């Protein structure tokens, strides 16, 4: 997501605006947007953890041919994410320079943040939804007609209550918790968020010490949601957001868990560490006034053996790993240790 404008309000606790466009794309088309291959474009940014979720789930389920993807650059101004990575700075499918244009096509003078991920209806050029938690769930449950052969069940019906519960705790204390630390406007607000964050991390260390994945014995939506925060922890949150009790690489269980997922097809091959660092350190000028991007950390550790397979588990259940990343969606070699 983009948090336009001022990030830190002096004296105040950071509160995320979670009022999203709740229209859904469904198999029955009840909101006016039926599932249809080629009709919609996922606009994401590799820098953003919330958008990264949708990139991972789209890839795990094999939806690349059904839902095209446009990628914003890692930085944005106060108005909007922009398509800096495309020739001429224009998205080649939507024909726009700013994601804001697609929001305005849906709601003129759209009053809230221009966020990623967003799904755009290509014929009208209008955003359908930016409700990122629902987007990935709908990829799993509404787009089944277009899943690849061997696609995993990331939201199995018999585990949904537990997945929702765990994901809710992780969102409150970890996914959003790092932002509540980084954008805290007072010492009190920061320390409260910090304590909640690391209390939950201790809980996760204990939970994952005896099971390979968060819920059940396969990868689920809950793992996707935790992973995108862990992938950014040492590169950004530890220093930039002052989440510095310990680095991820100093948390034995979570570090091994994160490496396990990172080396699983569909996870690490979506991570662009260069874009991640550029986004946070350049855009958040009230946290990092000079916009200096750190050189570290060393990424080689992500490929160290994790030994998590000793806990059992079947990453894709009865399914199979996704195939190679499409050539036009590969992360540049300099931005990941996987190359």
Provide the annotated active-site residues.
48, 179
d(CA 116, CA 45): 7
Q: Is 81 annotated as a binding residue?
A: yes
Strand partners of residue 98: 82
Torsion 224-227-232-237 (CA) sign = positive
Tokens of 264: 């699983």
Residues comprising the chain, all counted: 339
Closest C-alpha among 206, 277, 185 to residue 238? 277
105: CB partners within 8 A, 6+ apart? 124, 125, 126, 127
The C-alpha atoms of residue 167 and residue 82 are separated, in whole angstroms, by 30
Whether the bond into 297 is cis, omega within 30 of 0? yes
In sequence order, which residues have a C-beta less than 8 Å from that of residue 15 and are 6 or more positions away? Answer: none
Strands 118-121 and 126-129: antiparallel
Closest by Cα among 231, 255, 107, 233 to 178: 233
The three-state secondary structure class of 99 is helix
* E-assigned strand segments in 61-154: 68-71, 118-121, 126-129
Q: Which H, E and C letters describe 253-265, residue by residue?
A: HHHHHHHHHHCCC
Question: What is the Cα–Cα distance from 52 to 62, expressed in whole angstroms?
Answer: 15
Q: DSSP assignment, residue 305?
A: -
Q: Are 310 and 245 in contact (CB under 8 A)?
A: no
The DSSP line for 121-139 is ETTTTEEEE--HHHHHHHH
């Amino acid at each position: 997501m983009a948090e336009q404008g001022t990030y830190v309000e002096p004296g105040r606790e950071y509160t995320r605006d979670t009022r999203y466009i709740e229209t859904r794309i469904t198999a029955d088309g009840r909101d006016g947007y039926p599932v249809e291959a080629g009709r919609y474009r996922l606009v994401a940014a590799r820098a953003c953890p919330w958008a990264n979720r949708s990139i991972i789930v789209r890839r795990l389920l094999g939806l690349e041919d059904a839902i095209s993807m446009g990628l914003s650059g890692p930085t944005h101004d106060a108005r909007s994410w922009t398509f800096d990575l495309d020739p001429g700075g224009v998205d080649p499918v939507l024909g726009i320079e700013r994601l804001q244009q697609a929001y305005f096509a849906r709601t003129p003078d759209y009053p809230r943040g221009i966020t990623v991920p967003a799904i755009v209806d290509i014929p009208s050029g209008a955003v359908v939804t930016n409700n990122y938690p629902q987007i990935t769930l709908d990829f799993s449950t509404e787009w089944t007609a277009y899943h690849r052969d061997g696609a995993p069940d990331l939201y199995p019906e018999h585990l949904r209550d537990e997945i929702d519960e765990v994901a809710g705790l992780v969102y409150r204390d970890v996914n959003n918790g790092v932002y509540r630390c980084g954008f805290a406007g007072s010492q009190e607000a920061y320390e409260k968020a910090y304590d909640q964050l690391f209390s939950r991390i201790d809980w996760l260390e204990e939970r994952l010490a005896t099971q390979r994945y968060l819920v059940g014995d396969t990868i689920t939506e809950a793992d996707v949601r935790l992973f995108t925060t862990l992938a950014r922890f040492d590169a950004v949150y530890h220093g930039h957001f002052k989440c510095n009790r310990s680095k991820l690489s100093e948390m034995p269980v979570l570090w091994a868990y994160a490496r396990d997922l990172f080396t699983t097809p569909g996870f690490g091959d979506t991570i662009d560490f260069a874009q991640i660092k550029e986004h946070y350190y350049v855009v958040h000028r009230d946290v990092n006034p000079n916009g200096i991007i750190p050189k570290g950390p060393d990424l080689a550790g992500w490929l160290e053996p994790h030994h998590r397979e000793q806990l059992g588990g079947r990453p894709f259940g009865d399914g199979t790993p996704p195939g190679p990343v499409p050539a036009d969606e590969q992360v540049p070699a300099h931005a990941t240790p996987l190359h």
